[in-house]
Amino acid sequence: MRRLGGMLMVLSLLIGFTVAGGAGELETPLRVESNADLAALPGILGSGTEIDPFILEGIQASGTPGLPALSLRNISAHTIIRNSTFSGAAGCAVELQGCSNIWILDCVFADNATAISATPDCQEIVVSLCTFERNQQDVNATTQSIALDDGYVGNWWDGNAPLDLNGDGLSEIPYLVQAGEQLLLDKRSLVFPYAGDRSGDPEGVRLEIVYSKGETFGIESTTEMTMLMHMADESTRSTLVQELTGHAEVLSAPGTGYAELDVEVIENSRIMHIDGMPYEGGEGLDVVVSMGSHRFGGGSMGAYQAGNLAEESTVGPLQFSYAFYPVRPISQGYRWASDTLLPPSDFGLTEGSVTMHGDYQLLRIEEFMGVQAAVISFGTEIIFDGDVLNESVGTISLSGTAVSAGTIWLELERGKTLRVTFSSDSVTESFHLGELLFTLEQEMSFATDLTPEF
């Protein structure tokens, strides 16, 4: 299982989301008083659960006098409001009272007295990828009731002066939003609008992974690895050539930008040698691994459960992610970078810190496997330091670095990862009670093809 870890972990970078349909045309002002009323709306999608939320979309509310354009009260069912425009409200455009589990994304709020209002008894309200322009007040809420980013992306604000030093389309400086008597933070505000008018965008393409619930993929990958284990006065050299065939299924893609997948290893054939002698252990191992993914490439391995909030976050299941695609249009030759905290549990650590720096470039756009694909190069450095609890000897400390370089082919039209190749070198040191236990050096090359099954 552990030898599959490196191969499977990279799959978390490959595989996003979309949900078709919506509630149809709804007349505004619209007031919904309960979960039952919400479920009874004409054309409403979903069942209100974490993996199948209610979806309100396509609302076009303009010039509502006095009353909120959309008022939700006492709603606890998981609900998404998306792809809608609220403009010219004399009072509040979207009002939330006593609500929880509401996600507002890809909406435009323009020329309203107040764009979004949430009472203090609201909780787990998330706003992301929205555009706020020319509102007298953008948000009226408390820090306990609302989050203005999803842990990966935030929103575009007309009063913001974003500073994007690494080119990922997200500001390095949090944007302060005056929300009534409180100040709220959008820690990942956008440099260019995602929702609404994009006429001011630079020329180029947007890189985005797209998932649909129930979608399946075939996976074929090959790994070659050399490992040198140094313990006391002894050293062991191991080599591995592994061919893996797998199947991935999208379990949920609720429309928030996060998706949950299961990857099943169907066939695992390998040739392994230890100090030149064949080693036969682990043949034919079948594994099912759960993974999470964000539409812009972030992912988590093994720890993702739809709807569960990361320990230090109130905004979504992936507070920490493998930052990858920029949230902006890019053209050939464009470079960007990322610095990210990763979950220690993804690396087998019970506690500790894991940081990743990545450098990326859009090399070209070419025809690949019969479709137009973006070809992206990447180089990453991961530094980790933490502890593992061993039942036999107690706490073992691990520290090290892993450096990788590779290429990704991403289909532009449907947002599908088609191929990934990379090589990596890593060094890990292990200590127990201050004494060095071992040093492990690894060299690995990896190639995988993903075949969407439409």
pLDDT tens profile 205-244: 999 988 888 889 898 999 999 999 999 889 999 999 989 8
Residues 176 and 299 in one domain: no
What is the structure's pLDDT at 114?
96
pLDDT band (50, 70, 90) for residue 12:
very low
Does 346 have pLDDT greater than 50?
A: yes
Residue 347 in contact with residue 373, Cβ under 8 Å?
no
Of the chain, the percentage scoring pLDDT greater than 90 comes to 57
What is the structure's pLDDT at 297?
77
* Residue 37 backbone phi and psi in degrees, to 5: -65, -40
Q: Quick: pLDDT tens for 358-399.
A: 999 999 999 999 999 999 999 999 999 999 988 888 899 999
What is the structure's pLDDT at 147?
94
Angle at 18 between CA 15 and CA 21, to 5 degrees: 160
Domain-embedded: residue 191: no
164, two tokens: 């994007």
Can you give the pTM of this predicted structure? Answer: 0.84
Closest CA to 210 of 56, 412, 428: 412
Amino acid (1-letter code) at residue 388: V
- SS3 for 268? strand
User: What is the pairing mode between strands 123-128 and 85-87?
Assistant: unpaired
C-beta neighbour count of 372 within 10 angstroms:
13
Residue 31 in contact with residue 223, Cβ under 8 Å?
no
Residues 159 and 67 in one domain: yes
Cα separation, 295 vs 18, whole angstroms: 9
In three state form, how does the secondary structure of 179-201 look? ECCEEEEECCCECCCCCCCCCCC
Domain-embedded: residue 229: yes
User: Which residues does 66 contact at the CB level (< 8 Å), separation at least 6?
Assistant: 90, 91
Residues 279 and 358 in one domain: yes
Cis peptide before 162 (omega within 30 of 0): no
Domain-embedded: residue 198: no
What is the structure's pLDDT at 430?
93
Amino acid (1-letter code) at residue 397: S
What would the mean pLDDT of 126-143 be, rounded to a whole number?
95
What is the structure's pLDDT at 290?
65
Residues 136 and 216 in one domain: no
pLDDT band (50, 70, 90) for residue 251:
confident
Cα separation, 76 vs 124, whole angstroms: 10
Category of 417 on φ-ψ map: left (φ > 0), alpha (ψ -120 to 50) or beta: beta
Residue 129 in contact with residue 153, Cβ under 8 Å?
yes
* Residue 153 backbone phi and psi in degrees, to 5: -130, 150
What would the mean pLDDT of 250-258 be, rounded to a whole number?
78
Domain-embedded: residue 197: no
What is the structure's pLDDT at 213?
83
Domain hosting 220: range is 2-17+209-453
Of the chain, the percentage scoring pLDDT greater than 70 comes to 86
What is the structure's pLDDT at 391?
82
The residue written with tokens 């993929």 in the block is 217
What is the structure's pLDDT at 139?
96
pLDDT band (50, 70, 90) for residue 5:
very low
Element (H or E) spanning 37, and its range? helix 35-39
The residue written with tokens 């991935």 in the block is 248
Residues 378 and 421 in one domain: yes
Residues 443 and 306 in one domain: yes
- The structural domain count of the chain equals 2
Residue 268 in contact with residue 4, Cβ under 8 Å?
yes
What is the structure's pLDDT at 401?
94
Residues 89 and 231 in one domain: no
Does 49 have pLDDT greater than 50?
A: yes
What would the mean pLDDT of 129-147 be, rounded to a whole number?
95
Does 8 have pLDDT greater than 80?
A: no
The residue written with tokens 């709306």 in the block is 41
Domain-embedded: residue 200: no
Domain-embedded: residue 286: yes
What would the mean pLDDT of 65-87 be, rounded to a whole number?
93
Which of the two residues, 324 and 119, has the higher pLDDT score? 119
Closest CA to 207 of 318, 356, 49, 365: 365
pLDDT band (50, 70, 90) for residue 299:
low
297, two tokens: 């490439």
Domain-embedded: residue 192: no
Closest CA to 68 of 111, 126, 23, 28: 28
What would the mean pLDDT of 17-31 be, rounded to a whole number?
55
Domain-embedded: residue 7: yes
Residues 82 and 111 in one domain: yes
Residues 369 and 422 in one domain: yes
Highest mean pLDDT among 22-26, 102-106, 430-434: 102-106
What is the structure's pLDDT at 121?
95
Cα separation, 291 vs 250, whole angstroms: 10
**Over the chain, what is the mean pLDDT?**
84
Residues 93 and 8 in one domain: no
Number of Cα atoms under 13 Å in the Cβ half of residue 337: 10
Q: Quick: pLDDT tens for 184-213.
A: 999 999 999 999 988 888 999 999 988 888
Residues 306 and 443 in one domain: yes
* Domain termination residue (choose one: 186, 219, 240): 186
Residue-by-residue DSSP string for 103-139: EEES-EEES-SEEEEE-TT-EEEEEES-EEES-SEEE
Cis peptide before 29 (omega within 30 of 0): yes
What would the mean pLDDT of 99-122 be, rounded to a whole number?
96
Cα separation, 412 vs 205, whole angstroms: 8
Strand partners, 371: 368
Residues 120 and 67 in one domain: yes
Q: How far is CA 446 from the centre of its chain?
A: 22
* Residue 312 backbone phi and psi in degrees, to 5: -105, 25
